[in-house]
C-alpha cells in the first residue's frame, strides 16, 4: 500500500467550487463528502522564528495547537489555559519543539484567517471512486488582528487532487479538467506555502548579520554606519519591552547597545576623540536604566534550574525568594517603562543618533584608513594579547585574571563578528567557533560570580526570614561549588584556542597580506 503523490493547483481568483464541479461534471460524477470551516490563528514570535524554520503553528477556536513542519502535521496539542511561552505547554512533543524553535520568545497571534475545506470524491460510471479532490480556501479575518504590525494577506484557493492506485488515467483526465481554472500548478504545496501564496509573510525580517561593509571604505565611515544600524536594532525592541511581551526584547535591546559601546571603544582611534568621549556616558545611561530589570529577569528565567539545585526542604524559602524577586521585577519594569516612554529618553536617543549619523570628520589617526587593513591589525593584536594572557593561566591564577581573559575574548569575538562579512564565511566561522567554546566556559565561570553577587546583594537589601536566608545561603554554596568545577576547565579551554593550528590560521588570515593577493 503506497501513497501516491497528489497534484496541487492554485485556483484563479474568480474560480470557485461551482466552476470546479462543472469542469469535472462531463467526465465524472462529483460528490461532496465533507466540509469544514474554521477560524485559524497563526502564532509565532516577534521574529517569526517558527515560520522562518519552515514550520507553522496554528491554534483553532477550540484551543487545539497544531505544529506543521514542511508538509506534515508534527503534533496537535489541546491546551485550554493561556499560553505564552513554550514552558506553558504541557510536557510533550509541542513543548519540546517550541523550546528549540522560539527559545525565550513569547508566542503571539500574527494573523487570523478563515479557512475552509471541501472534500469531494470523483466517481466513474460504475460509481467507483477514482480520485479524491480537496479544495482549501483562505481569507484574512480582519477584525481579529491583535498585532501592531499585521501581516498582509489576501484570498487564496487551492486544489489538491489525490490519485488512487490503478486509476492513473482517470487522474490525468481529472487534472486536465481542472487545469484551465488554475493559475499555477505545484509539485508540493504545504499548508504554510498555501498561506505564503495568500500573501502572509513576516512583516519584518530578522536583522541580517551584515552592515553593508566593504574592504576599502574609510574606517570612520564604517564605524558610524554600523553604530547607527545597531542603535536602530536596539530601538526596534522598545515596543516589545514596553508591552512586556517577553524578556528577549530587553535582552536584545541591551545587547545591541552594548555592541555600539564596544564597537566605538574598540575603534576609538577611528572616530573623533570628542565623539568617543561624549558617546561613552550617553550610551551607558541609555543602558543602565535597564540593568536592574535584566538582572531580575535572568534570575527568574533560571527558576527551574535553581529549584533543582536545592533539596526539597528549601522549597518554602525558595518560593518566597522567587515571589519577592517577581515583585521587585514588576517594580523595576515600571521604572524602565517610565524611562523608555519619557521625553528625556527620546531626546537622549536623538542626540546619540545625531552625533553618529553624520559625515566622517577624519580627525583621528585611523579614520580614513581602509577598513580591512585596520580590522586585520586589530584582530591580530587582540588575538596575540589573548594568547599572552592565556599562557599565564593555570589552576592557581587569581580569578580577576580569568575575568580579564574573558573580557579580552569578548572583545575579540565582537571584532570578528562585527566585521565577519569582510572575510570568507567558512574560514571566519572556523575561528569564531573555538573562540565561542572558550568563551562559554569563561562565561559560565563569570556567571556564577554574578549570580552569587546578585544573591548576596539581594539578601543584604531585603528583609530576611530564616527560610529565605537558608535558600539564598544554599544557592550561594551550590553556585560556588559549580564555579570551582568550572574553574578547573579554564586552562583546558584556552589550550585549544591558543594552540598551533588556530594560531597559524590567525596569522595567515589577519597577518600582512602581500599587495594584490586576495585572502
Partner 1 sequence: MKVIACYSMKGGVGKTATSVNVAYMAAQSGLRTLLIDMDPQGASSFYFRIKPGRKEVGKRFFNADKALYKQIKASDYPNLEVVPAQLSFRNFDTFLSNLKKGHNRLNKMFKGLNKEYDLVVLDCPPTISYLSEAIFSAADFIFVPVIPTTLSERTYEQLLQFFKENGYSKKILVPFFSMVESQKALHKNTMESMRRRYKRFLRAVIPFSIDVEKMGEHRAPLETFARHRPANKAYQALWREMYQVLGAF
Residue 5 engages partner 1 in binding (rule: CB under 8 A): no
Binding positions for partner 1, 128-147, rule CB under 8 A: 128-129
Picking from 171, 229, 202, 198, the residue whose alpha carbon sits closest to that of residue 52 is 202
State yes or no: residue 433 binds partner 1 (CB under 8 A). Answer: no
Cell of 323: 515571589
Spatial distance between the Cα atoms of 282 and 278, rounded to a whole number of angstroms? 6
**CA-to-CA distance for 144 and 139, rounded, in angstroms?**
12
Stretch that binds partner 1, among 124-132, 137-145, 209-217, 329-337 (CB under 8 A): 124-132
Q: In terms of CB distance, is 128 or 429 closer to partner 1?
A: 128
CB of 360 closer than 8 Å to CB of 224: yes
Complex with partner 1: residue 129 or 217, whichever CB lies closer = 129
166 is an interface residue for partner 1 by CB under 8 A: yes
Instruction: Tell me the C-alpha distance between 6 and 324, whole Å.
Output: 58
In whole angstroms, how close is the CB of 163 to partner 1 at the nearest point? 9
Tell me 508's DSSP state: H
Among 122-130, 245-253, 265-273, 393-401, the segment contacting partner 1 (CB under 8 A):
122-130
Minimum Å gap between C-beta 165 and partner 1 is 4
For partner 1, which residue of 32, 54, 103, 127 counts as binding (CB under 8 A)? 127
Q: Is the dihedral of CA 368, 371, 376, 381 positive or negative?
A: positive
The owner of cell 493547483 is 9
**Looking at 36, 126, 312, 359, which residue binds partner 1 (CB under 8 A)?**
126
Pattern 68-107, partner 1, x by CB under 8 A: ----------------------------------------
Q: Does 172 interact with partner 1 (rule: CB under 8 A)?
A: no
Within 147-193, strands assigned E span 156-163, 182-186
Contact call for residue 32 and partner 1 (CB under 8 A)? no
| DSSP secondary structure, 111-148, as one string | EEEEEEEEEEEEE-TT--EEEEEEEEEEEE-GGG--SS
Q: Which residues contact 438 (CB under 8 A, 6 or more apart)?
A: 409, 493, 494, 496, 497
Measured from the CB atom, the residue of 80 and 169 that comes closer to partner 1 is 169
Question: Contact with partner 1 (CB under 8 A): which of 9, 48, 51, 167?
Answer: 167
25 vs 224: CA distance, rounded Å: 67
Q: How far is the CB of 68 from partner 1 (least distance, A)?
A: 22
Q: How far apart are CA 17 and CA 119, in angstroms?
A: 11
- Beta carbon of residue 159, minimum distance to partner 1 (angstroms, whole number): 20
Which lies closer to partner 1 via its Cβ, residue 2 or residue 91? 2
Q: What single string gives the DSSP state of each residue in 25-79?
A: HTT-EEEEEEEEEEEEEEEE-TT-HHHHTTEEEEE-TT-EEEEEETTEEEEEEE-
CB nearer partner 1, residue 170 or residue 295: 170
Closer to partner 1 at the Cβ: 168 or 232?
168
Which is closer to partner 1, CB of 128 or CB of 206? 128
Give the whole-angstrom CA distance, residue 3 versus residue 165.
8
Indicate left, alpha or beta for 257 from its phi (over 0: left) and psi (-120 to 50: alpha).
Answer: alpha
Question: CB-wise, 128 or 338, nearer to partner 1?
Answer: 128
Least separation in angstroms between CB 6 and partner 1: 13
Taking the complex as a whole, the smallest distance from the CB of residue 67 to partner 1 amounts, in Å, to 25
Stretch in the footprint of partner 1 (CB under 8 A) among 21-29, 88-96, 161-169, 344-352? 161-169
- What's the closest the beta carbon of residue 509 comes to partner 1, in angstroms? 53
| Residue 372 CB contacts under 8 Å (≥ 6 apart), including other chains | 215, 216, 422
User: Would you count residue 164 as binding partner 1 (CB under 8 A)?
Assistant: yes
Nearer to partner 1, 38 or 129 (CB): 129
Q: Among residues 125 and 394, whose Cβ is nearest to partner 1?
A: 125
Q: Which range binds partner 1 by CB under 8 A, 75-83, 121-129, 196-204, 363-371?
A: 121-129
Verify binding: residue 165, partner 1, rule CB under 8 A: yes
Smallest distance from partner 1 to CB 167, Å: 7
Nearest distance, CB of residue 133 and partner 1, angstroms? 14
The minimum distance between CB 31 and partner 1, in angstroms, equals: 11
Select from 62-70, 162-170, 295-303, 357-365 the region that touches partner 1 (CB under 8 A).
Answer: 162-170
Produce one character per residue of 193-211: b if its CB has 16 or more CB atoms within 10 Å, e if not: bbbbbbebebeeeeeeeeb
Count of CB atoms situated within 10 Å of the CB of 237: 22
To which H or E segment does residue 11 belong? strand 7-11
Footprint on this chain of partner 1 (rule: CB under 8 A)? 1-2, 121, 126-129, 164-167
Amino acid at each position: 500500500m503506497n501513497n501516491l503523490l497528489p497534484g496541487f493547483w492554485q485556483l484563479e481568483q474568480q474560480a470557485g467550487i461551482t466552476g470546479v464541479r462543472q469542469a469535472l461534471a462531463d467526465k465524472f460524477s462529483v460528490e461532496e463528502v465533507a466540509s469544514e470551516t474554521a477560524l485559524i490563528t497563526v502564532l509565532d514570535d516577534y521574529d517569526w522564528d517558527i515560520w522562518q524554520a519552515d514550520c507553522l503553528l496554528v491554534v483553532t477556536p477550540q484551543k487545539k495547537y497544531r505544529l506543521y513542519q514542511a508538509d506534515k502535521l508534527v503534533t496537535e496539542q489541546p491546551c485550554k489555559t493561556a499560553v505564552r511561552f513554550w514552558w506553558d505547554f504541557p510536557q510533550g512533543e509541542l513543548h519540546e519543539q517550541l523550546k528549540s524553535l522560539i527559545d525565550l520568545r513569547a508566542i503571539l497571534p500574527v494573523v487570523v484567517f478563515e479557512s475552509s475545506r471541501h472534500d469531494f470524491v470523483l466517481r466513474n460510471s460504475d460509481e467507483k471512486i477514482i480520485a479524491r479532490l480537496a479544495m482549501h480556501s483562505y481569507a484574512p479575518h480582519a477584525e481579529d488582528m491583535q498585532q501592531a504590525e499585521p501581516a498582509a494577506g489576501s484570498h487564496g484557493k487551492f486544489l489538491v487532487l489525490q490519485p488512487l492506485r490503478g486509476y492513473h488515467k482517470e487522474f490525468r483526465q481529472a487534472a486536465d479538467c481542472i487545469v484551465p481554472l488554475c493559475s499555477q500548478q505545484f509539485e508540493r504545496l504545504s499548508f504554510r506555502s498555501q498561506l505564503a501564496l495568500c500573501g502572509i509573510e513576516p512583516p519584518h525580517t530578522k536583522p541580517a548579520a551584515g552592515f553593508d561593509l566593504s574592504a576599502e571604505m574609510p574606517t570612520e565611515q564604517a564605524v558610524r554606519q554600523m553604530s547607527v544600524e545597531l542603535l536602530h536594532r536596539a530601538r526596534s525592541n522598545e515596543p516589545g519591552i514596553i508591552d512586556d511581551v517577553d524578556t528577549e526584547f530587553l535582552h536584545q535591546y541591551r545587547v545591541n547597545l552594548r555592541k555600539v559601546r564596544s564597537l566605538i571603544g574598540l575603534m576609538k582611534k577611528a572616530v573623533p576623540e570628542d565623539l568617543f568621549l561624549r558617546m561613552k556616558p550617553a550610551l551607558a545611561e541609555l543602558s543602565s536604566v535597564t540593568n536592574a530589570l535584566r538582572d531580575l529577569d535572568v534570575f527568574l528565567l533560571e527558576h527551574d534550574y535553581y529549584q533543582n539545585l536545592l533539596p526539597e526542604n528549601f522549597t518554602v524559602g525558595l518560593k518566597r525568594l522567587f515571589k519577592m524577586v517577581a515583585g521587585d521585577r514588576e517594580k523595576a519594569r515600571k521604572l524602565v517603562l517610565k524611562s523608555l516612554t519619557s521625553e528625556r529618553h527620546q531626546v537622549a536617543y536623538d542626540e546619540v543618533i545625531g552625533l553618529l549619523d553624520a559625515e566622517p570628520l577624519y580627525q583621528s589617526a585611523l579614520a580614513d584608513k581602509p577598513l580591512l587593513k585596520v580590522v586585520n591589525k586589530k584582530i591580530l593584536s587582540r588575538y596575540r594579547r589573548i594568547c599572552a594572557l592565556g599562557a599565564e593561566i593555570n589552576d592557581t591564577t587569581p580569578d580577576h585574571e580569568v575575568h580579564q581573559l574573558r573580557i579580552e575574548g569578548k572583545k575579540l569575538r565582537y571584532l570578528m563578528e562585527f566585521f565577519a562579512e569582510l572575510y570568507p564565511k567558512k574560514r571566519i566561522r572556523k575561528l569564531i567557533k573555538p573562540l565561542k567554546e572558550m568563551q562559554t566556559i569563561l562565561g559560565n565561570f563569570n556567571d556564577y560570580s554574578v549570580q552569587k553577587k546578585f544573591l548576596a546583594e539581594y539578601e543584604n537589601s531585603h528583609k530576611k526570614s530564616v527560610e529565605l536566608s537558608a535558600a539564598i545561603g544554599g544557592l550561594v554554596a551550590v553556585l560556588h561549588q559549580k564555579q570551582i568545577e568550572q574553574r578547573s576547565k579554564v586552562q583546558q579551554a584556552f589550550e585549544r584556542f591558543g594552540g598551533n593550528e588556530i594560531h597559524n590560521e590567525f596569522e595567515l588570515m589577519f597577518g600582512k597580506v602581500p599587495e594584490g593577493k586576495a585572502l
